[in-house]
Amino acid sequence: MAFRIKLIKDDTNIDFMSVHKAGLATAGLLIVAAFVLLFTKGLSFGIDFTGGLLIEVKTPAVMQVEDVRGKLANLSAGAPVIQEFGDDTFMIKIPGREADEGLQKKMSAEVQAALGDDVEFRRVEYVGPQVGKELIGTGIKAFVYSMIGIMLYIWVRYEWQFGVAAVASLAHDVIATMLFFIVTGIEFDLSTVAAVLLVAGYSVNDTVIIFDRIREILRKYRKKPLTEIINIAVNETLLRTIITSTTTLAVMVVLAFFGGAVIQGFIYAMIAGVFIGTFSSIFISAPLLLYMGIRREAAAAAGEEAGDAVKA
């Protein structure tokens, strides 16, 4: 006999819609807080965006990251960012320095003097601030194009109201993830941008599952209030949401312990994004349909067409 753990009972009926206004209000507060802090405190941009020097060094085995950070705390350029990059290997990031060969040599000599002669310099690279500006622009374009593509897809598959609700939810996810980075001060770099876009994809997948179930229930119960239909849809997909979120979190937690400092920003963005995306799919995208004026008959008819296509 197979051993199974039942996380959610078949007759689960949590009234999510009774608190949907509180959920929407919370989302609104997070968005306002994100914009206020963005213009007052700002993100801690990594060297990918700010430009600067990258120095990779290999140290003796007895030297730990705390030792390296302590030795380099008084550099003339200010305290650098230190990351472990493998066994006894560290990445030293000195942001905001101009591309001058003499300055690079000076900074390398300063790092060498601080760490000692036993340190092996593996590479010294410069990232210009112009490249950082281009990367910021590219990241914004990638996000905007992704949102447009997602909205068009959901519009074609359902109705335009579903697409608007999904994009509003995704915008919240991205802004709330940025708020997490502003508050924590964790470095925001290219890997983090990739994680934010991945969070958007993760969230829209959960949202589409709930939308599909809403459409199926609309076809089944033509007269049932929309609030009840959304509640049924969220409850029926709750087990899938919990399993998906839990398995994703399990992988991210393992990577957080063993993945190394190079991908820490990516990991933290994913962990925060799982919670944010799950919250938004239940308390933002689905409840917004209550205020979007969806045409029940059209949605139900689309559900019938989809069901016929699957049977065919």
pLDDT of residue 269: 87
**pLDDT tens digits, residue range 105-154?**
777 777 778 777 777 777 777 766 665 667 677 777 877 887 788 778 87
Q: Where in the chain are all domains bearing CATH 1.20.1640.10?
A: 16-44+132-311
Do 279 and 205 form a contact (C-beta atoms < 8 A)?
no
| pLDDT of 297 above 70 | no
How large is the average pLDDT for residues 66-78? 74
| pLDDT of 237 above 90 | no
Say how far apart CA 3 and CA 70 lie, in whole Å. Answer: 53
Give 36's pLDDT tier (boundaries 50, 70, 90): very high
Give 33's pLDDT tier (boundaries 50, 70, 90): very high
pLDDT of residue 37: 93
Write the CATH number of the domain with boundaries 52-127.
3.30.70.3400
With a threshold of 0.85, does the pTM exceed it? no
Which residues are CB-neighbours of 129 under 8 A, at least 6 positions away?
50, 51, 96
Say how far apart CA 236 and CA 45 lie, in whole Å. Answer: 41
Closest CA to 278 of 189, 193, 199: 199
- Other beta carbons within 10 Å of 183: 12
Say how far apart CA 110 and CA 76 lie, in whole Å. Answer: 8
Between the alpha carbon of residue 195 and those of residues 49, 127, 156, 179, the distances in Å are 16, 22, 27, 14
Closest CA to 210 of 221, 199, 218, 222: 218
Q: Is the dihedral of CA 172, 178, 181, 184 positive or negative?
A: negative
Write the CATH number of the domain with boundaries 16-44+132-311.
1.20.1640.10
- Other beta carbons within 10 Å of 29: 10
Closest CA to 126 of 51, 33, 70: 51
Q: Where in the chain are all domains bearing CATH 3.30.70.3400?
A: 52-127
| pLDDT of 1 above 60 | no
Give 99's pLDDT tier (boundaries 50, 70, 90): low
157-180: burial string, b at 16+ Cβ within 10 Å, e else: ebbebbbbbbbbbbbbbbbbbbbb
| pLDDT of 25 above 90 | yes
**pLDDT tens digits, residue range 153-162?**
877 777 788 8
Say how far apart CA 273 and CA 8 lie, in whole Å. Answer: 23
**pLDDT tens digits, residue range 171-194?**
899 899 989 999 988 888 777 888
